[in-house]
Chain A
């Protein structure tokens, strides 16, 4: 069973690949008092709109299954389309790994 921190990190890395001129990887949660990107950041504002999320179905399944082969269960395009924030995406990735999201997360 993967841990939440690993799944969260893998999700942010994946989103960073498809974000449009946005460095989510280095800007997530930083600076602490006014993070550039956080769980409430709308994905469409960084170029990951519904079309892009739909196109991420295969890449997401391949990337997550590569990292968490024992726990990952496939995600569908409509589920990705329905998540419009980074936090929603993290929760979905956790769910697909049969993983509980710790209280207060994602931040």
Chain B
């Protein structure tokens, strides 16, 4: 009797298992999936037929906590194409006032994960840190500038497809000019203004496209010179400028023309120092040796630029030079 019951139980278990298997096993062959024309439906069919199980969903924080980028400076903002800190790091050779020179201008910028603040003002803003080195022996006063900085960059406004928005970048840092024996802290509030109709021309092969981005900001630095102290103290000023980028796809793919003009005026200077009015302009041609949109890895480029004036925010100048440069950008 016991044996009979055991056999019955075994048969019942086998029947149930077979039923379960029959239910789990997909019917038909994978060839049946070819009847689905929509890729989504076809893929879902293949997954079903083959019993494919997608990997467990990653956690959102699997995005890197910090993304590192190599640029020309960590000066204004590490993001976007419309700001100084997005140009590639530069190693240049040139000739100025009849004298050959070489220079290096490179920064390492780390961009932190975006702030998650639902309904908050800082939602999506990105903190960043940077170190930069700018060495240029071509100027009448040779330069060897080292900076370390922290900052945050974000957006004000929610533009529609033809709207306008401001992009503030707030920075605080310390810089040391080794050759001039000056050092001190600085604070900068920079605002790019993006009006979408000025920047959204499609970049189609064989055609030119352009983008125009005005900007403004406040800059303050506390300078300490050694051994002279006549210029020591706090400088505060405001600036206004614009950048233009034209991608010359109608001439040569990956060739672009860039221009920038800026006006700066001191509002506060230390002691009896006169208020400065500083103008700066640059026009350049750049040719990317590989597709600049190939985001993984190094993007080398060649550039030829003409530069005049002084740019206090980035520490450019005073200069009057034409330079041929080899740049490298890393994402």
Contacts and interface: CB of A to CB of B under 8 A. Distances in A.
Are A and B interaction partners?
Answer: yes
Interface of A: 1, 5, 17-18, 20, 22, 29, 32, 42, 44-52, 54-55, 57-59, 61-62, 65, 69, 71, 73-79, 81-82, 84, 95-100, 102-105, 107
Nearest to B44: A102
Interface residues of B, number: 60
13 contacts: A42-B293, A46-B202, A55-B194, A57-B155, A59-B158, A73-B61, A77-B126, A78-B78, A78-B79, A81-B80, A82-B295, A100-B55, A104-B46
A47 B200 contact: yes
Contacts of A59: 158-160
B161 A18 contact: yes
Given A77-B126, A78-B78, A78-B79, A58 B161 contact: no
Interface of B: 37-40, 43, 46-47, 52, 54-63, 67, 78-82, 111, 113-118, 123-126, 153-155, 157-161, 163, 165, 167, 194, 196, 199-204, 209, 211, 213, 293, 295, 331
A58 B158 contact: yes
Contacts of B118: 65, 69, 74
A104 to B, nearest CB: 5
Nearest to B79: A78
Given A29-B39, A77-B155, A57 B293 contact: no
A81 B38 contact: no
A104 B43 contact: yes
Contacts of B155: 54-55, 57-58, 77
Contact of A103 (B38, B52, B163, B167): B52
Contact of A73 (B56, B116, B153, B163): B116
A20 B198 CA distance: 12
B245 to A, nearest CB: 9
Nearest to B46: A104
A47 B201 contact: yes
